[in-house]
Structure 1
Amino acid sequence: MPPGRRYRLRKDEIKQLAQEAGQRFGEAIASVIGGDVEILKRDDGASLIISGEKTIFFQRDGELFPTLRIVDLIKVKRVIIDMGAVPHVANGADVMSPGIVSADPDIKKGDIVAVVDERHGKTIALGLALVDAKEMKAPRGKAVKNIHHVGDQIWRALEKG
């Protein structure tokens, strides 16, 4: 695990976390949050939320995000990108509109979205929608801000946990 301060949550804090996660990502997420939950406050400002030795969420600037480990288990809207965009997004680049093959039609600006490759259907990144779904397949511009991707520091923490 990366350096930082690690502590256990009290039962009332776990309940509050489960409620927040349930409101944001659907009630099914409650089954992912176990009875023993810890927070690892990292030096880079992010906090990893660990349940049963698995990093399930991270917090950045007070906002809760799922990790790539659980993003496929919960209801997160999807943006599908072409294979030419995959290496760039997997290296941390934002998703550009020309690389988008399709997007869930109910995506709104500010939504958390899973970025999925078109060939394998694997989630390679998690991002924030910068535009509504109908504007995503434009000929130019950024559509999704990359906040967590395969190979980043959070991903490396997932491999260890």
Structure 2
Amino acid sequence: MQIITVVKRYFLSNKDIKELSNAVGELGPIFRNAKKVEVYELNETTTVYLIDDKPLVAKLTVKIDSGQREYVIPLLTYFYLNPTYIPSYPTITVDDGAVPHIVNGADVMRPGIKDISGEFGIGDLLMIKDLKGRYVGIGISLMTSDEMKSTTKGKVIKVIHHLGDKLWNLSQELLKAK
């Protein structure tokens, strides 16, 4: 197992929590209802937020094409700790053959997709589920929902977080430590 180094670790003030909750859209209530928020800066591109001692949200800077874009995402741990939470993000359901590839870090190829739910554009966040409805990854769309529905081949989603990745493993370690 790989040890993850935390470069910087600190707590947010109530004012900072409020500002963050207003800036992260759908994830805002997670922060608004928190008693404490601890920040783990892992490197210049990855920050994990522990909300009341649970690793629930991450901020990632992702290289896309020639630029970079910042995303604030729920960690997959959040879905397993809060099974009733249903995100409003568009969702892609993949077949059983795609799941092992995704959890080993592969991006999503069009032939592995069984269902596309919701409208989205290039660069939008997508939730990736298996046929049993379990979240296995979070990705960034490389095309619009209409383009994805009409194409039959090629890479269509860049996976930025998946079961078994560094963020997932860190989350599991942090949950065990509490």
Q: Normalised by the shorter chain, which TM-score bucket?
A: 0.7 to 0.9
| Counterpart selection for 1:70 from 64, 78, 89 | 78
Could you tell me which residue of structure 2 aligns to residue 126 of structure 1?
Answer: 138
The AA in structure 2 aligned to 1:49 is Y
1:7 aligns with 2:19: no
The AA in structure 2 aligned to 1:146 is V
The AA in structure 2 aligned to 1:157 is L
Structure 1 residues 4-55: Cα deviation after superposition (integer angstroms, max 9, x where no partner): 121000111100111122x2x26xx514651200100114731111111111
- Residue 69 (structure 1) shift: 2.1
The AA in structure 2 aligned to 1:3 is T
Equivalent-residue separation in structure 2 for 1:47 and 1:105 (angstroms): 28
1:30 aligns with 2:29: yes
Equivalent-residue separation in structure 2 for 1:59 and 1:75 (angstroms): 18
Could you tell me which residue of structure 1 aligns to residue 124 of structure 2?
Answer: 111
Could you tell me which residue of structure 2 aligns to residue 143 of structure 1?
Answer: 156
The AA in structure 2 aligned to 1:41 is E
Written as runs of structure 1 = structure 2, the 5 A alignment for 1:54-93 is: 54-61=54-61, 62-71=70-79, 73=85, 74-93=87-106
- Residue 88 (structure 1) shift: 0.3
Written as runs of structure 1 = structure 2, the 5 A alignment for 1:43-54 is: 43=43, 45-54=45-54
Equivalent-residue separation in structure 2 for 1:139 and 1:17 (angstroms): 39
Contact 1:94 1:146 in 2 (8 A): yes
Task: Structure 2 unaligned segments of length 5 or more: list them.
Answer: 62-69
Equivalent residue pairs, number: 156
Give the TM-score taking structure 2 as reference length.
Answer: 0.80
Amino-acid identity (%):
28
Write out the 4+ residue segments of structure 1 that deviate beyond 4 Å after TM superposition.
Answer: none
Give the TM-score taking structure 1 as reference length.
Answer: 0.88
Written as runs of structure 1 = structure 2, the 5 A alignment for 1:149-160 is: 149-160=162-173
- Residue 2 (structure 1) shift: 3.2
